[in-house]
């Protein structure tokens, strides 16, 4: 993780990786226990790096487009349900909505707690492939 991130010189300290620290199997009892700690973990984090998966040329273009939007807009969109987020992007950005849709179709966003936890964080960086979205 540290080596793969473009700005590795700014990272020091501990990394907590939920995909490694929590059994992702829906049937595993540990998952329910660990999820209870997520607000404390995310709330105490200096920064969260959300690695949502591999990118491609379409997703890269969408990330570059989103990067130019005001932070208040992105925060408002993040607080909506997955379906409402897609509808918002389709209405406001019809020309790039198909690109943004690919980002939000990543399995990363399907986890129930993820949006609530990311909303608690001071700084979130979304990484998809080689592109970043601060």
Q: What is the DSSP string of 41-61?
A: HHHT-S-EEEEEE---HHHHH
**22-60 pLDDT, tens digit each:** 766 667 677 777 778 878 888 888 888 888 888 888 888
Residue 8 clears pLDDT 80, i.e. is over it = no
Give the pLDDT confidence score for residue 117 in this predicted structure.
76
Q: What is the mean pLDDT of the chain?
A: 73
Query: Residue 74 and residue 87: Cα distance in Å, rounded?
Result: 14
CA-nearest of 89, 122, 117, 92 to 103 is 89
Q: Which two tokens stand for residue 73?
A: 């807009």
Question: Which helix (DSSP H) or strand (DSSP E) does residue 124 occupy?
Answer: strand 124-128
Determine if residue 129 is left, alpha or beta; phi over 0 gives left, psi from -120 to 50 gives alpha, anything else beta.
left
Residue 129 clears pLDDT 50, i.e. is over it = yes
Taking the model in full, what pTM does it have?
0.61
Question: Residue 34 CA to chain centroid, in angstroms?
Answer: 19
Phi, psi of 55 (to 5 degrees): -105, 180
């Amino acid at each position: 993780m540290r080596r793969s991130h473009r700005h590795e010189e700014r990272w020091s300290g501990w990394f907590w990786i939920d995909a490694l620290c929590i059994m992702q199997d829906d049937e595993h009892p540990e998952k329910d226990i660990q999820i209870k700690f997520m607000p404390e973990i995310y709330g105490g984090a200096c920064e969260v790096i959300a690695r949502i998966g591999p990118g491609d040329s379409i997703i890269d273009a969408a990330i570059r487009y989103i990067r130019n939007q005001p932070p208040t807009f992105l925060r408002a969109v993040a607080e909506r349900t997955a379906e409402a987020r897609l509808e918002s992007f389709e209405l406001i950005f019809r020309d790039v909505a198909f690109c943004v849709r690919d980002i939000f179709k990543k399995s990363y966003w399907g986890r129930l707690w993820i949006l609530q936890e990311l909303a608690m964080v001071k700084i979130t960086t979304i990484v998809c492939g080689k592109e970043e979205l601060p």
